[in-house]
Chains A and B, each alone.
Chain A
Amino acid sequence: MKANSIKDKFTNLKANKPLRQDLITYAIVIFAYLLIRILDMAGMVNSQLNGLLVPICVYAILAVSLNLTVGILGELSLGHAGFMCVGAFTSAFFSKCMVEAIPLAIVRFPVAILIGAVCAGLFGVLIGIPVLRLKGDYLAIVTLAFGEIIKNIINTINIGRDSNGLHFSMKSAMDLGMEKDGVFLIKGAMGITGTPGDSNFTIGVILLLITLFVVLNMVRSRDGRAIMAIRDNVIAAESVGINITKYKLLTFAISAALAGMAGALYAHNLGSLTATPKTFGYNMSIMILVYVVLGGIGNIRGSMIAAIILYVLPEMLRGLQTYRMLIYAVVLIVMMIYNWAPKSIAWRETHSAKDLLAKVKGVVASKSKKGGN
């Protein structure tokens, strides 16, 4: 009886292709994690790779969460780094305040991540309300502007703490008027320094799995089908009674919250957190978009793998000294063409590995036949 039900489940799994695909995605992540752990125990992971593990998780989460907006909802958002920035700063601020009150990282860090995610999600809703009235290029431009606004506002915030309590100023650090014993929590352009380094690879992988779980389940759910219906044809979706605004806002907010989670992971990995154009500007937003486009718009697993490869590549090219950024750019162009040019797609279809394998098999078979004769 029991064996029967397991068998049933197995046949179910065979029939349910999307579920199988999702399970493969989780399996890839868990397998990669175990592989690294085993190599680490064998002492085969150098500190370069060790240092890359957490950033890899951060960018994979960002790519997967942006794919929700770009691939599933079908709207081009260029403000993703802005949400990451909100998550990074709110969670780091919390950790910095609470580092003495809650000395246990295992309690403090999840709360910090939650705060980062919720704040970024709230910003997602706030920004989504006006922005999602637009679509296409207009939406892209406005999200880009919002990302920049977030970054610039954070650059002007000064918060300090002394014996009288918290002080806040948007003008300059001097205007806080703190006592001598005061410490800066956020200091304008210098951002937050000395965030406790709570991030590690295990937490990163757990967050990545959570992200995948949320996104993949959402895509397969009733809500996900509604969202994809909006992407494919707004008028048709509206005519069958789908609440366009609700679903758009929902997707946007979830995508922002996941980006905030990645931001929290990022902030707790480094000793200094500054909102420079390089870290949270539109360059970063576009970088994440590149991961998504290269991995395949709407392809969750692809965007994750693309993020990992494109993040690791310039680090692995360090041996090439100053040429590495040039080569990285060339690789980017070549990969884009290979992935998306119509001719290249056609060529890949005629020269697919399966055909090649069949050909080789054919040759081998005919040869063995000859040999037999």
Chain B
Amino acid sequence: MKTMKKIASIALATIMVMSMMTGCGNEAAVDSSVADGSAAVESSVADEATGATFKIGGIGPITGGAAVYGQAVMNAAELAIAEINAAGGVNGVMFEMNFQDDEHDAEKSVNAYNVVKDWGAQMILGSVTSAPCIAVAQKTYEDNMFQITPSGTAVDCIQYDNAFRLCFSDPNQGAASAKYIGENGLAEKVAVIYDSSNAYSSGIYESFAAEAVNYDFEIVAAEAFTEDNNTDFSVQLQKAKDAEADLVFLPIYCKEAAPLLTQADGMGYAPKFFSCDGMDGILAMEGFDVALAEGVMLLTPFAADATDDMTVAFVTAYQEKYGDVPNQFAADAYDTVYAFKVAIEKAGVTPDMNVSDMCEALKAAMLEISIDGLTGNGITWTADGEPNKEPKAVIIENGAYKAM
């Protein structure tokens, strides 16, 4: 038994060392293949001196509770890259993406970043969720790698100048919601139900409450829940009902909104519901009666049933390839890839530049470009990394999103 233990521990130690070695071996292999690849392209494309491909490292949750967002981002980014490559790439250079899972965890997200860095990523698309994005942004800042997050809404996600975002920030969404409700006179008494353990949700609530004082509606109830008890909302709903709120503001994700709407219906409480982009995707929830979402308003930059050519083309292509209706996260990711493209064209960078120089060039170019995307027309960026675009409000009618 003792010797067995000894042997086992030696064997395990060997496996450890071996796995480390293979890790190193892989890296070497990647390097050589990159070299080969660039040589091949060099001979075929004469005007691109040493052009290989632009390598995008994608980071987001593919497994776990937030997987629905990460997968949407991954799929849409792949779609956009396929489109761009089919149309001849960026200045004749192709895009290539390696998307790594972060399980919606800051530590795993940094691990994922290291993996794509080994792979040779030159720019980062991600992270999809806020807290992981903050951790990754710190690392990209240290390496001076260019980063755009399609959907990291927390303020600190882009606190460094190498990081930009395509979505609205939390304060932006909360304030815009309050403004929309106030200016359109949607309600007099508002209740808020939010997830106090979630940075996205509490961030929106705080900015909503701060902005609400400027308008003539009153927040009569602010009820919190946490990630550990996000299945039963009867207490919060009852309090909102007792406070006679005629509108309930829900800065929460659709995962929680689905049982909440079901329970509100069960207790016969039918106020107006107003929500933000996290609600997007509610119609695609499995096992949720879509009729219950009827009349829910949400502030989102993207509606899948919009009739403009671009949205229609995107939605059809996405449905064909992945089988479901794309949500706002998908649209954000799609626009992010095009932002990379436009910024690269503007800056005139080439794949053979080192990561830091490329970052400097792209960073400067981001302030000058303007893109017409799925989530807005003429999106521009400011030096602090925030996008300039108009929020749109949509309402769910007959089981589909409709612009208000």
Contact = CB atoms under 8 A, between A and B. Distances in A.
B111 A52 contact: yes
Given A194-B156, A301-B9, 17 more contacts: A44-B24, A51-B110, A55-B107, A148-B228, A152-B228, A155-B226, A189-B195, A271-B106, A271-B139, A274-B131, A278-B104, A308-B16, A318-B115, A322-B63, A322-B101, A352-B4, A353-B4
A156 B1 CA distance: 50
The secondary-structure label for the interface of chain A is helix
Given A189-B202, A305-B9, A51 B134 contact: no
A19 to B, nearest CB: 16
Given A174-B210, A309-B12, A49 B20 contact: yes
A152 to B, nearest CB: 6
Contacts of B107: 55, 266, 269-270, 279
A271 B196 CA distance: 21
Interface string A39-60: 1000011111111100100000
Given A44-B24, A188-B196, A271-B137, A35 B3 contact: no
Interface residues of A, number: 60
A152 B195 CA distance: 12
Contacts of A205: none
A124 to B, nearest CB: 23
Given A271-B137, A312-B19, A318 B4 contact: no
B2 to A, nearest CB: 10
B114 A51 contact: yes
A193 B156 contact: yes
Contact of B209 (A174, A279, A312, A348): A174
Contacts of A272: 106, 131-132, 134-135, 138, 156
B37 interface: no
17 contacts: A28-B13, A48-B23, A48-B117, A49-B24, A55-B107, A172-B205, A174-B209, A189-B202, A190-B131, A190-B203, A270-B138, A272-B135, A278-B105, A279-B107, A309-B15, A318-B115, A353-B7
B96 interface: no
Contacts of A352: 3-4, 7
Contact of B1 (A48, A49, A276, A349): A349
Interface in A310-349: 312, 315-316, 318, 321-322, 324-325, 348-349
B206 interface: yes
B199 A189 contact: yes
A79 interface: no
Nearest to A56: B16
Contacts of A349: 1, 4
A264 to B, nearest CB: 15
Nearest to A190: B199
A278 B103 contact: yes
Nearest to B114: A51
A303 B195 CA distance: 37
Contact of B206 (A174, A279, A308): A174
A50 B110 CA distance: 11
Interface of B: 1, 3-5, 7, 9, 12-13, 15-17, 19-20, 22-24, 26-27, 62-64, 100-101, 103-107, 110-115, 117-118, 131-132, 134-135, 137-139, 154, 156, 159, 195-199, 201-203, 205-206, 209-210, 226-228
A193 B134 contact: yes
Contacts of B138: 194, 197, 270-272
A18 interface: no
A189 B131 CA distance: 10
Nearest to B66: A278
Nearest to B63: A325
B206 A48 contact: no
Nearest to B138: A271
Contacts of A269: 107
B117 to A, nearest CB: 5
Interface in A275-292: 275-279, 281
Nearest to B143: A47
B173 to A, nearest CB: 15
A353 B3 contact: yes
Contacts of B15: 309
A152 B24 contact: no
Contacts of B196: 155-156, 188-189
Contacts of A39: 20, 24
B3 A354 contact: yes
A329 B118 CA distance: 26
A230 to B, nearest CB: 25
A271 B23 contact: no
B159 to A, nearest CB: 8
Contacts of A321: 62, 101
A267 B196 CA distance: 21
A353 B226 CA distance: 52
A105 to B, nearest CB: 15
A318 B19 contact: no
Instruction: Give the 5 A-B CB pairs with smallest separation, nearest first.
Output: A271-B138, A51-B114, A272-B134, A190-B199, A46-B27
A322 B227 CA distance: 24
Nearest to A348: B4
A107 B274 CA distance: 51
A244 B197 CA distance: 39
B117 A279 contact: no
Given A28-B13, A174-B206, A271-B135, A49 B23 contact: yes
Contacts of B20: 36, 39, 45, 49
B17 A302 contact: no
A359 to B, nearest CB: 15
A190 B154 contact: yes
B83 to A, nearest CB: 22
A86 B227 CA distance: 19
A173 interface: yes
B114 A155 contact: no
A305 B227 CA distance: 33
B23 A46 contact: yes
A173 B228 CA distance: 21
B331 to A, nearest CB: 23
B157 to A, nearest CB: 9
A273 B106 CA distance: 8
